[in-house]
A and B are shown apart, each in its own frame.
Chain A
């Protein structure tokens, strides 16, 4: 009874409000009917076009914003030469990069999709800035490692890799990861498997020390993400990102004139395109 009463009241209330609007709606309907019906159809058509434009742009931006492949790594790991080899297959002398270079790269798979290769500088003072700039548009990240100098630089490599991984995990669409063990033409180069094991061990220690570091000045930044599972030893398979290891040599087996040994790298690029 009470509910029926309240419902009626609600209806009355709703009717009251509707009643307030009713004259306006009536007048609007009359106005529209008085005018040419073409005006109404024109307005509707415009609205439809606008809506499709907005939707199309939205879809386009979602697809095209993620066509970049970033080449990152420490200084002197061979990123720029790899960039040159992938694009033209030639050999060029290179210096330490100060800014990024980008170019369109056609993948050799059946569809022939286009990717944008972006070569970022590896110097310590620049790398984070450039990574920040380009990480939003990254579909894949190729982390280049100098296999010959790896034993010496293990800690620096691991630290940069840790930063890149943490940054990538915070992105909306996590990019695919490839760790390219470059400079395999040198005799003392470590294999990809060994590099993977060493990096896992190092990252295991690193996630403890990094989370124990004193907090930054403005503690508005969130706590650093945890890599892998807490209790167990760190392994790349524990990450939500896809991480693969590949061996390559940008310089090639027999010096400047020969071709580079980058087939695995190209195959991987074809796969993720």
Chain B
């Protein structure tokens, strides 16, 4: 039922492969590596590629990857357990070969795993087979028939006995719960719980199902017992006498009156209000300076952590010493606190919240089980891994060289078309002017197409820019050729039509580049998104640039997702034109809260082509991944 199962090292060597079908498995596995592992989306362990579902598992200690592929339409329940079993068996059987540093041991070793794998597969498949529906018990077999009739008559005295019986059952069930929850991968525990049910499910599903049954069977008693620990704490706080409602309800007016005693109908005197708290500001009612309020925030944040830190120093010191020396493999619990801190740090640096969560998940996946070297703490290992993944995300996946592509287009005697899109007020027109200045400096002639026919003054703005650029690069200094020109058709017209005419005009007049400026639009505005998608589909520009400001936080995710979706939905082509690059603007306004760069590149996996750092023509930069990551990781 499986299409294939491969085991390969992270360095690229395939150690063992099982192929259920004749198709090669390299294609899907390469797609898995490129989209998931290399783009840091490794939190979830399954991936869909065409008609196959791929599930994978990383062994970070020995640098191996286990991948299994099966048809998407099948829902195989035994796959997760199969991967775990195979992983364990393979690791134990070939420990010496995979343990060494050099790749020679991997190359020279023979991994004859076929028989073991087939045996494990057979076991997994059998255990997942659906059993015949159980026949109903006859009355004679049930427990009720065995009990004498007298015992079933309910009197007041009988209740405690039944409760004792319930408690015993609960205790047994609870043990059954704790064992799979605490023990990580011991087979006997799984077997004992699985034997109850008869169907081999994954651990989490099993626990969930058992819990539901348990709650159903024992009803409120179970709820009370499971919540007893939690309710103990609040119970201690408010020692209120429980209200006793007499059976039969003597509804006496005085008894039912629970209101607080009042004097003359006036309410009780409230505790004296803290005038200072209400006023909040310093003495004299003036507004506090910004510095004071920020230090208050820090103090408040530090105080709760201080007592816990003081308590934890002794234990932490020993733990740190223990962690420093000797090789220790990382587990999730070790990394938990560090990852939480890193996640909060990333969110504080303006990375979108779900992306920070996904990133930390992926880093945890990559580090789980890894053996740390001596003298490296958990914090340093996690920080190092996070830094590497951030640099990896910011590296462009495709070539970023606009000038080279323009030269190519020049050779083919057609203009190079760039479209700028984005929401309102991000700096499309300003950055368009900056980019045209840069192109003019490099000797290319530019046609600016004013396809923003909605905003008042949009055309005039571009006309002013054109005039200034023309003054900087007059036709006389370029052999009588107009280097920059504006193509506009006024307001209220169809943007896609204007763009098409502009491109035709550029081709006739021999302009090298056409920069198309569109109106800003919100990502939720369906008719405007349709209009943008139409402009891009009809004119097929060479580069679609999304302009986003660096100040945006979680909104970046929403904007990019909706823009891409709109472009994909309204395109007729097989492979729709999506956003090709990002221009990050207003970078000078953020200090070191550079998280927006990460959010945007993570969502689209497209590179940041330009960074805008101001409002003059020279304020155009390209992204330096290391500097951005350094600013991001700075405390």
Contacts and interface: CB of A to CB of B under 8 A. Distances in A.
Interface of A: 80, 83-84, 87-88, 90, 92-104, 119, 121, 123-126, 128-129, 155-156, 159, 205-206, 208-210, 212-218, 221
Give the 4 A-B CB pairs with smallest separation, nearest first. Answer: A101-B11, A97-B12, A93-B14, A209-B403
A270 B204 CA distance: 57
Nearest to B623: A217
22 contacts: A87-B103, A93-B14, A95-B6, A95-B26, A95-B33, A101-B9, A101-B103, A104-B104, A124-B395, A124-B397, A125-B392, A125-B397, A126-B38, A129-B388, A159-B399, A208-B403, A213-B622, A214-B620, A215-B621, A217-B613, A217-B621, A217-B628
Nearest to A212: B442
B623 A97 contact: no
Contact of A96 (B34, B108, B388, B611): B34
Given A208-B403, A214-B622, 19 more contacts: A80-B11, A80-B12, A93-B14, A94-B14, A95-B8, A95-B29, A96-B30, A98-B37, A101-B13, A103-B107, A104-B102, A126-B38, A128-B395, A129-B392, A155-B401, A159-B401, A210-B401, A216-B621, A217-B627
Contacts of A125: 38-39, 392-393, 395, 397
Contact of B26 (A93, A119, A124, A128): A93
Contacts of A215: 621-622
B622 A123 contact: no
Contacts of A93: 14, 17, 26
A123 to B, nearest CB: 6
A46 to B, nearest CB: 29
Nearest to A221: B624
Interface string B103-119: 11001100000000000
A138 B83 CA distance: 39
Q: What is the interface residue range for chain B against chain A? A: 35 or more
A212 B12 contact: no
B238 to A, nearest CB: 56
A98 B389 CA distance: 12
A205 B404 CA distance: 8
Contacts of B34: 96, 123
Interface of A is mostly: mixed
Interface of B: 6, 8-14, 17, 26, 29-30, 33-34, 37-39, 63, 65, 101-104, 107-108, 388, 391-393, 395-399, 401, 403-404, 407, 438, 441-442, 587, 610-611, 613, 620-624, 627-628
Contact of B399 (A155, A205, A218): A155
B14 A88 contact: no
A97 B404 contact: no
B395 A84 contact: no
Nearest to A213: B622
A162 B80 CA distance: 45
Nearest to A88: B107
Contacts of A221: 624
A119 to B, nearest CB: 7
Nearest to A218: B627
Contacts of B39: 125
Nearest to A120: B11
A197 B33 CA distance: 34
A103 B103 contact: yes
Nearest to B393: A125
B10 A206 contact: no
Given A103-B104, A123-B38, A92 B13 contact: yes
A221 B468 CA distance: 31
A208 B104 CA distance: 43
Contacts of A99: 10-11, 63
B42 to A, nearest CB: 11
Contacts of A128: 395
Contacts of B621: 214-217
A126 B26 CA distance: 20
B399 A217 contact: no
A214 B610 contact: yes
B281 to A, nearest CB: 39
A86 to B, nearest CB: 11
A162 B50 CA distance: 36
Contacts of B438: 214
A124 B607 CA distance: 11
Contacts of B30: 95-96
A209 B442 CA distance: 9
A98 B622 contact: no
Contact of B623 (A126, A129, A216): A216
Nearest to A93: B14
A103 B392 contact: no
A93 B106 CA distance: 13
A100 B404 CA distance: 31
A215 B219 CA distance: 68
A212 to B, nearest CB: 5
Nearest to B404: A209
Nearest to B594: A217
B600 to A, nearest CB: 15
A191 to B, nearest CB: 24
B107 A92 contact: yes
A159 B395 CA distance: 14
B222 to A, nearest CB: 47
A215 B65 CA distance: 40
B470 to A, nearest CB: 21
Nearest to B587: A217
A128 B625 CA distance: 11
A103 B102 contact: yes
